Amino acid sequence: MKTALDSRPVLIAGGGIGGLAAALALVREGYNVKVIEQSAHIGEIGAGIQLSPNAFAAWMRWASARTCAPGPSTPTRW
């Protein structure tokens, strides 16, 4: 982990895919990050995400391969 040039904490409102991706990128740059989310629990809400090849490549650089599905998947419920 790097040491950030600015020591002020970063507050991210929203624990969705965008907020968590931003938090992960900032933490890896050495920032002190706090994510706030209005939901009491983080879990499946029935929605999926579709990533373009470039976005998926970026996600794989950020996240462990264990956190991702092994490939394309088909919804099991509608």
Tens digit of pLDDT for each residue in 21-72?
899 889 888 899 999 998 887 766 666 667 778 877 777 777 665 566 556 6
4 with 30: CB under 8 angstroms? yes
pTM for the full predicted model = 0.58
Dist. CA 13–CA 20, nearest whole Å: 10
Q: Which residue has the tokens 């956190």?
A: 67
Dist. CA 33–CA 37, nearest whole Å: 13
